[in-house]
Structure 1
Amino acid sequence: MDSYKIPSGTSIGHVHLKVSDLERSIDFYCGLLGFELMMRYGKDAAFISAGGYHHHIGLNTWQSKNSPPAPRNSPGLFHTAILLPTRKDLAFLFKRLADHSYPLTGAADHGVSEALYLDDPDENGV
């Protein structure tokens, strides 16, 4: 391989997740985490966002409807990082998760950021 380096200003725009139950995933991402449902694409896909952007996360059942979660020891997405603007926003989300008895899989202080870790209903890391 050559020594090409992707530019430092690069960002990642969207995550598309294969989910087994679209309504359950919308309930989690919109109902619990607070994303906004921007659009449905038939009965099998939805696009959600923060702040009115066309979509940050795509959810679809095109290849995964009613399927079990992917095995933990197989290749795939480890987790999706959702960066909140302030520590107060993270605290509010932490309280919301606790109020709904939603289990965390971990938490960390990385020195430059603090993180909560949890799994969505399809065991995708968030």
Structure 2
Amino acid sequence: MLLGFEHVGMTVSNMERAIDFYCGLLGLHLRLRRTTAGGELAFLDAGGGMLEIAAPAHEVGPFRDVPHSEAGFRHITLAYDDVDAMVERLEEAGVSIVEGPRDAYNTEMIKRVVFVRDPDGILVELVERAAGR
């Protein structure tokens, strides 16, 4: 029996910078951070699942967007009660806004949406859920 969504993992180039972004700016909560044989590992609680971030001891190459012609993860999405207020906060912190904020296309699921880039260039979608979700 499925219990729920557990976590998604990603690689970052700098653990401290990633924690500052995801916890300090986006509001996730650090639940575990430890040194491993290959670098550092952390689990950040997003309220409905976790974000596992790994910072290898070796240099990490740049993030690359997955082309629409290839299978793969395109972005992570986090839900907020006020996307526009989050955008103001992120702009003040110098975060790159890629698209939006704007009304969502899938209005049955999402009301407002904005896409930003994390410190490694990974695409992060911030949404306000549609009424009744």
The DSSP-based 3-state class of the residue aligned with 2:113 is: strand
Contact conserved, 1:21 with 1:65, CA < 8 A, in 2? Answer: no
Closer, same or farther in 2 for the Cα pair 1:119/1:65, shift >3 Å? Answer: farther
* Structure 2 unmatched runs, 5+: 125-133
Root mean square deviation of aligned Cα: 2.6
Which whole-Å CA distance do the structure 2 matches of 1:50 and 1:80 have between them?
Answer: 11
Contact conserved, 1:77 with 1:124, CA < 8 A, in 2? Answer: no
Amino acid at match of 1:81: T
Which whole-Å CA distance do the structure 2 matches of 1:120 and 1:18 have between them?
Answer: 12
Alignment match, 2:31: 38
Alignment match, 2:127: none
Distance apart, 1:11 and its partner CA? 5.9
TM-score, scaled to structure 1: 0.73
Query: For this pair of structures, how many residues does the alignment match?
Result: 112
* Structure 1 unmatched runs, 5+: 1-8
Alignment match, 1:60: 54
TM-score, scaled to structure 2: 0.69
Q: Which of the pair is proportionally richer in strand?
A: 2
Alignment match, 1:121: 119
Alignment match, 1:47: 43
Which whole-Å CA distance do the structure 2 matches of 1:11 and 1:69 have between them?
Answer: 31
Which whole-Å CA distance do the structure 1 matches of 2:79 and 2:46 have between them?
Answer: 11
